[in-house]
């Protein structure tokens, strides 16, 4: 079993974890935590398009250092967020450097690549920032994203545009994965020069 932990080290939720081998890279952490990453996206425009409930439950999948978790929590004041990553080192970093800034609004936990350790119908929004290109089977993860979303829930996927980064995923692949996972109302949002941003709703 795994633990999802808040700032007081209290157990929030639990689920079965299949450990993934992931070698921690300090240089990658510094890159993931670069505040310039926040400037790649017009998050205010994205939030307007998403039209989320006032008190939303967010899920950051592949959270890294949780930089986007914190930013979205600041932009949506009454929301709370679960931040998941397959790296134990990233989880420890967030516990030491991120949770205390956000009182009890951010909870962090380990996940398997295709399994999110949350109950069904839990979240209003799941989001993945520059993660999709790293997935072996994006459709399988998105099936589990569909499971944890409420009936009105939405997913946001942002990843590198072709030609903007040496690692990228074609927009058509993301759309196909969303269709495979039974999402509807799939829509691209023009909110970044470097990233393709797609939102979709639970079927």
Q: What is the DSSP string of 69-118?
A: HHHHHHHSTT-EEEEEES-HHHHHHHHHHTGGGGTTSEEEEE-BTTB--S
Number of Cβ atoms within 10 Å of the Cβ of 117: 21
Q: What pLDDT score does 15 carry?
A: 41
Question: pLDDT tens digit string along 69-110?
Answer: 999 999 999 999 999 999 999 999 999 999 888 878 999 999
The strand ranges marked E within the chain are 2-5, 11-15, 57-61, 80-85, 106-110, 123-129, 149-160, 183-189, 195-202
Number of Cβ atoms within 10 Å of the Cβ of 163: 8
**Would the pTM of this model clear 0.75, i.e. be above it?**
yes
Which residue stretches of the chain have pLDDT < 70? Answer: 1-27, 162-168
Contacts of 105 by beta carbon, 8 Å cutoff, 6+ apart: 73, 79, 80, 81
Q: What pLDDT score does 182 carry?
A: 96
Tell me the domain boundaries of the chain: 56-202
CATH superfamily for domain 56-202: Vaccinia Virus protein VP39 (3.40.50.150)
Q: What pLDDT score does 162 carry?
A: 67
Phi, psi of 95 (to 5 degrees): -60, -35
């Amino acid at each position: 079993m795994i633990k999802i932990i808040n700032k007081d080290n209290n157990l929030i939720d639990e689920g079965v974890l299949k450990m993934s081998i992931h070698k921690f890279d300090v240089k990658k952490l510094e890159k993931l935590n670069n505040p310039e990453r926040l400037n790649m996206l017009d998050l205010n425009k994205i939030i307007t398009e998403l039209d989320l409930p006032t008190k939303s439950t967010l899920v950051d999948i592949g959270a890294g250092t949780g930089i986007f978790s914190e930013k979205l929590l600041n932009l949506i004041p009454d929301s709370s967020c679960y931040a998941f990553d397959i790296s134990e080192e990233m989880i420890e970093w967030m516990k030491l450097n991120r949770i205390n800034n956000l009182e009890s609004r951010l909870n962090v936990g380990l996940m398997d690549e295709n399994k999110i350790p949350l109950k069904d119908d839990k979240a209003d929004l799941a989001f993945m920032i520059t993660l999709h290109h790293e997935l072996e089977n994006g459709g399988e993860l998105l099936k589990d994203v569909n499971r944890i979303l409420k009936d009105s829930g939405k997913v946001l996927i942002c990843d590198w545009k072709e030609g903007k980064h040496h690692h990228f995923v074609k927009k058509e692949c993301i759309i196909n994965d969303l269709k495979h996972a039974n999402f509807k109302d799939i829509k691209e949002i023009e909110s970044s020069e470097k990233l393709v941003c797609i939102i979709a709703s639970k079927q």
